[in-house]
Amino acid sequence: MRDAYQEQMSALNTVLGQMVEEVGRAMEMSTRSLLEADLELAERVISDHDAIAEQSVEAEDLAFKLMALQAPVAGDLRSIVSGFQLVSEIDRMGALALHVAKVARRRHPAKVLPEEVAGYFEEMGRLAVELAHNAHRVLESQDYHDALSLMDDDDAMDDLHRHLFTVMMDREWEHGVSAAVDVTLLGRYYERYADHAVLIARRVVFQATGKTPEQLLEAS
């Protein structure tokens, strides 16, 4: 019985890892479509989103089977509940990458971003993909030390997001309200994407230790 549980839990973590890699790839393509006004890339992200949704269903089915067939208790139950929560976090990351692609498609053939902010989004896109890769690593290792490190990785994203507003509030902003709205929304999408990657790390910490990151830090 225990071996069956471990195999099914491993299968769930594998699907979760595949999902987070897919949402990382989606955000990478979405960022390129945004920077290059590449309609083909934007359309690919939009069409590929169905595959992420299918993986979500598969992951939830695995979690339900673990719940129903293995009669989990204590730590096992904690891991399964965390699995449901992880599916939700990764789903939201995929949805945010999809939103970016839809903005690029809506503005095509024009570029969405004024030159003053394009560099910010190039770096935000790079950080978002890196966070997805790190989340995948944490899901595979289930190492709460790695997870705690990932939680610090979104500070750079927060800094970039704050600086965007400085640029838009500058008196020399000449791109109008529409561009300002696009930049504001897009900045929020990237910030929230990073937040969900951090929430994945928090779930893994709890899954591995039964404690929140704050409780671990207090105990150390």
| CA atoms of 86 and 56, how far apart (whole Å) | 10
Mean pLDDT value of segment 29-33: 98
Contacts of 39 (CB under 8 A, 6+ apart): 33, 104, 105, 108, 109
| CA atoms of 84 and 40, how far apart (whole Å) | 33
Mean pLDDT value of segment 199-205: 91
Total structural domains within the chain: 1
Identify the pLDDT of residue 209: 85
Indicate if the pLDDT at residue 64 is higher than 90. no
Identify the pLDDT of residue 192: 97
Question: Which has the minimum average pLDDT: 96-105, 132-141, 203-212?
Answer: 203-212
CATH of the domain at 152: 1.20.58.220
Contacts of 33 (CB under 8 A, 6+ apart): 39, 41, 42, 45, 100, 101, 104, 105
Question: Which has the minimum average pLDDT: 48-57, 94-103, 125-134, 169-178?
Answer: 169-178
119-131 core/surface letters (b: 16 or more CB in 10 A; e: else):
ebbebbbebbbbb
Identify the pLDDT of residue 72: 65
pTM: 0.93
Mean pLDDT value of segment 28-54: 96
Amino acid 205 reads V
Provide the pLDDT confidence category of residue 16 given band limits of 50, 70 and 90: very high
The answer to whether 89 touches 199, Cβ cutoff 8 Å, is: yes
Residue 218 burial (CB count, 10 A) = 9
Domain that holds residue 196: 2-219
Indicate if the pLDDT at residue 19 is higher than 90. yes
